[in-house]
Chain A
């Protein structure tokens, strides 16, 4: 593989799943038009979703899901040791994600409600970066395939990826969507990092913040706007906490 006369290495990658819905993995494995090209530029050595063969000589590890058990914690530490670059992929890995719902209740109550008396290894929901050092976070619920491919190109070229710092509103306006606030709905687009092409407002749903906060997001101002527009504290809290993207502001 060459780029402008320079020979590029084909990195060995592994994709690993922890607590999550496996939707991010699926994003990598679907989109058949470019799957062949993807496997041409990277060597997949460990990816359960597509092959049962699993080797441990990967250089880049993509880690999906949050860390919720002791065994998961040990496994991700092992992956960290092997991987030169560890990329957390998706809202669960980067933020805790929807799983974080569990952390709002006491752990024994949750275990009793879900598993009854069955013994189970489960702990609080942790972001990957709360357990091991993370080099890059690829946001989204699920991640976007074009953004994943964009990141892979950067990793191969050895260029530091610059994620968009601005918020979803930019992309939303660029798609000429109607602002859902005008239609009486709540939206976290103004404080959420762009890159999803505003898919939710496009479909007349407010943004829930799955991509995490935009750089320097103005939470105070948006909170004031939401209250002025008459959204209840409960409604605001539910939205803000959904992906655990804005922890600490409420």
Chain B
């Protein structure tokens, strides 16, 4: 990895230059919560000033820019008995600014399934290749447990990664494209003073991890507590609303729909993201539902995140962003559920 610094003024110029030929996505805000805090979300930026480099939390992850909630996989032109299929993998080149380490690690996990598996997902691959990622450090929020999930630092999976050190950004460079871009905006070698300030910032971040989830024994615990009352307790509260999986940076379950137009001359095959918490997701042809109970569905979401993925890839799927916990009106979060399981196991 190479390191440089770039002044904030030059960073602005860089972003504005990127906006000329790319779709640039970053944290923006529109609404405020009841306490007056801004509610941020990753959206397309039209001007540099819309970009909120001091954003705290984005309620939804930027996953949808790689794995859209709804995506047309192919379209068909229907003619008498024949059809003609059209598939487009290309997207307009994109830049995402402000992704956190956890979100970058989440993409690396999705890559395991969607790029490195026996059947790569070409639409995802195209979006991954055509997206430049500029990460951004931050002080963890009170409920972030990314450190417990080993996802608080990103070593790869980005082009540039920024740390705010005052008038400048300290820039970690991880790709040729990233290197070429910062160099066009007068990136400088790291001076001794920059390095000192970088260490200070990192040191401060270090002290801010508040929430811990003990996941070392979780895969085993999940099996031991398969029949635990804990699932019923939280499952009875669960609204089966799917909000958790929608905002989650790693949930990737989907369904496939086929539609025709009104005159039956064109058709579309569409992928729609789903959640294992949703009743529909376990309904199969003929109407049978093999997971009709909410607490079983809830359990399986946790199983996939904390056990199934470990078995397949030696790591949890969850990166500890707690977006699911924040989105859940019923107060269900990995922290409370896992703590509860551990508590029960002790008894």
Q: Which A residues form the contact surface with B (CB < 8 A)?
A: 1-5, 8, 34, 37-38, 40-41, 149-150, 152-153, 156, 164-167, 169-170, 172-174, 176, 178-179, 181-184, 189-191, 204, 214-218, 220-222, 224-225
Contacts and interface: CB of A to CB of B under 8 A. Distances in A.
Interface stretch (B101-109, B110-118, B224-232, B256-264): B256-264
A150 B43 CA distance: 30
A220 B237 CA distance: 8
A218 B238 contact: yes
Contacts of B69: 174
A2 B327 contact: no
B273 A8 contact: no
A216 B294 contact: yes
Contacts of A41: 262-264
B180 interface: no
Given A174-B69, A190-B241, A179 B327 contact: yes
Contact of A2 (B264, B280, B329): B264
Nearest to A168: B241
A150 B260 CA distance: 9
Contacts of B242: 166-167, 169-170, 173
Nearest to B58: A176
A166 B59 CA distance: 21
Contact of A178 (B30, B278, B283, B292): B30
Interface of B: 30-34, 39, 41-43, 59-60, 64, 69-70, 78, 80-81, 83, 236-243, 246-247, 259-264, 273, 275, 278-280, 283, 292, 294, 327, 329-330
22 contacts: A2-B80, A3-B260, A4-B81, A4-B83, A8-B264, A37-B263, A165-B279, A166-B241, A166-B278, A170-B278, A173-B242, A174-B273, A178-B31, A178-B59, A181-B329, A183-B39, A190-B241, A216-B279, A216-B292, A218-B240, A218-B294, A221-B237
A201 to B, nearest CB: 11
Contacts of B280: 164-166, 215
Nearest to B68: A174
A37 B261 CA distance: 10
B274 to A, nearest CB: 8
B263 A40 contact: yes
Closest 8 CB pairs of A and B: A173-B246, A5-B81, A169-B241, A174-B69, A3-B264, A178-B31, A190-B239, A184-B34
A152 B247 CA distance: 33
A153 B78 CA distance: 15
Contacts of B260: 3, 153
A37 B15 CA distance: 45
Nearest to A164: B280
B238 A174 contact: no
Nearest to A37: B262
B327 A222 contact: no
A170 to B, nearest CB: 4
B264 A1 contact: yes
A170 B83 contact: no
B39 A150 contact: no
Nearest to A220: B236
Given A8-B264, A183-B34, A176 B60 contact: yes
Contact of B238 (A37, A191, A221): A221
B327 to A, nearest CB: 7
Given A181-B329, A190-B329, A173 B243 contact: yes
B262 A149 contact: yes
A64 to B, nearest CB: 21
A170 B275 contact: yes
B279 A173 contact: no
Contact of B243 (A165, A169, A184): A169
B278 A183 contact: no
A191 B60 CA distance: 21
Given A173-B247, A184-B34, A225-B330, A216 B240 contact: yes
Given A5-B80, A221-B330, A170 B262 contact: no
B39 A167 contact: no
A216 B280 CA distance: 10
B252 to A, nearest CB: 14
Contacts of B279: 165-166, 214-216
A38 B262 contact: yes
B241 A178 contact: no
